[in-house]
A and B are shown apart, each in its own frame.
Chain A
């Protein structure tokens, strides 16, 4: 492919050789370090063809004379010949120049903005910030200062720790790295703090590193209760009690009960695709959609999907033209029934995904799930009590009281 392109741009000729000493002629020209290709004999005609570059062509004649063969140009191919042939045709040259100018003009804009690396931040939110900074399809490429855009993106979102903007041709790429938020609020070491309970529960296990534990495993605590105090009390020989404050640290896990009540429908519809499909298509010029075929859907139940292929010169020169399809795929909705057992299995998955969503995956351990159910006409009502083990400790800064009452 690359070689063919090179050949096209440099131009080449197909030569016809006649005579007795053709191998000798070929050997002679090869000694001049010439590359030739597609060398073959035209059977029964006593002639041989080969291709060589324009540059090599100039070196052929001495060898032809020496070996006594006759040379003829059979075909001229490639850009130099096309240009030469059309050099007197004004409209052709103007057209070619206009095309080049248009291409260069269109290349000075950004036509495609790609965003990678965002997980929790929506691409649309990032696009809005980028647009404010002048990075959007159809905006001038030279005005973009990648460093400034990066700064603006970082400033707009606190949970982005790294942003990089690169412009390849007409394609702008923003890659971001999101910060993983610390799992719990913690107070700087050195600042006196208590460890408190973030949630209600029964203490299961405590690992105290610093501070004075106030509860023991088995105790029932409520959210906000102090679990490990940062206040240390020291009694002196004179019966006075002095207190001073430390930065308490502990990891406290508790057994907690979570109750979920939800319905699992006994009837559900599934999509049976019939295989019938219809498509509308059109082109996108700049940011405008133009439908070339825009018929209403002939199906009552259908799923719509959209696909787009953008015209692009190589990977890095997307152009503001694209071809798109809207595909309607017909399906027949079918009502299916599930048994109570299946509904309960479904319930298990619902519980797991809900716990993961609400508490964060991996931050808890499920000890037990107790499910009770009640069957109605259309649903199974599941009441589940889940016992989980979770870290509930959280640090809270101690705000020192101005005047501690002595003895208390």
Chain B
């Protein structure tokens, strides 16, 4: 069902982030990374931040991580970000 749905969406060129509720991740260098369309916060740490999305978990690792802006729509992670990882 999921596969079929994906094919229809791709054929019709529908925005995937809307149909599948996929997260949009925007990075401003390695300083500010904002993630829109997330589900929930799972871990808040100085070296690791885990965010749950419809597409699995997004894990930020780095040093002195801080969540600069947090709303129900989006989160901005900043600090010395080393990696952004997708865990499914």
CB < 8 Å: which of B40, B42, B67 contacts A39?
B67
Complex: chain A residue closest to B70, CB-CB: A36
- The contact size tier of chain B is 10 to 19
Whether the pair B45, A35 counts as a contact (CB closer than 8 A) is no
- Cα–Cα distance between A37 and B78 once the two chains are bound (Å): 11
- Interface of chain A residues 35 through 71 with chain B (CB within 8 A): 35-41, 43, 48, 50
Q: Which residues of A contact B41 (CB under 8 A)?
A: 23, 26-27, 30
User: What number of A-B contacts does a CB cutoff of 8 Å give?
Assistant: 49
Complex: chain A residue closest to B43, CB-CB: A23
Distance in Å from the Cβ of A193 to the closest Cβ of chain B?
Answer: 73
Whether the pair B72, A33 counts as a contact (CB closer than 8 A) is yes
Whether the pair B72, A39 counts as a contact (CB closer than 8 A) is no
In the complex, B26 has a CB within 8 A of chain A: no
- The contact size tier of chain A is 10 to 19
Q: Which residues of A contact B68 (CB under 8 A)?
A: 37-38
Q: Which residues of A contact B42 (CB under 8 A)?
A: 23
In the complex, A142 has a CB within 8 A of chain B: no
Q: Which residues of B contact A23 (CB under 8 A)?
A: 40-44
A41 and B46 in contact (CB under 8 A), knowing A27-B40, A27-B41? yes
- Interface of chain A residues 182 through 229 with chain B (CB within 8 A): none
A37 and B70 in contact (CB under 8 A), knowing A23-B40, A23-B41? yes
- Cα–Cα distance between A36 and B69 once the two chains are bound (Å): 6
- Cα–Cα distance between A332 and B47 once the two chains are bound (Å): 63
In the complex, A31 has a CB within 8 A of chain B: yes
In the complex, B65 has a CB within 8 A of chain A: yes
In the complex, A22 has a CB within 8 A of chain B: yes
Q: Which residues of B contact A40 (CB under 8 A)?
A: 44, 46, 65-67
Q: Which residues of A contact B70 (CB under 8 A)?
A: 26, 30, 35-37, 39, 50
Whether the pair B69, A37 counts as a contact (CB closer than 8 A) is yes
Query: Interface readout for B44-88 with A: 1 if CB under 8 Å, 0 if not?
Result: 111000000000000000000111111110000000000000000
Distance in Å from the Cβ of A39 to the closest Cβ of chain B?
Answer: 4
- Interface of chain B residues 9 through 58 with chain A (CB within 8 A): 40-46
- Cα–Cα distance between A37 and B44 once the two chains are bound (Å): 13
* 23 A-B residue pairings within 8 Å (CB atoms): A23-B42, A23-B43, A26-B44, A30-B41, A30-B72, A34-B71, A34-B72, A35-B70, A36-B70, A36-B71, A37-B67, A37-B69, A37-B70, A38-B66, A38-B68, A39-B66, A39-B67, A40-B65, A40-B66, A40-B67, A41-B44, A41-B46, A50-B67
Q: A34-B72, A35-B70, A36-B70 are in contact. List 16 more A-B contacts (CB 8 A).
A: A23-B40, A26-B70, A27-B40, A27-B41, A30-B41, A30-B71, A30-B72, A33-B71, A34-B71, A37-B67, A37-B68, A40-B66, A41-B46, A43-B45, A50-B67, A50-B70
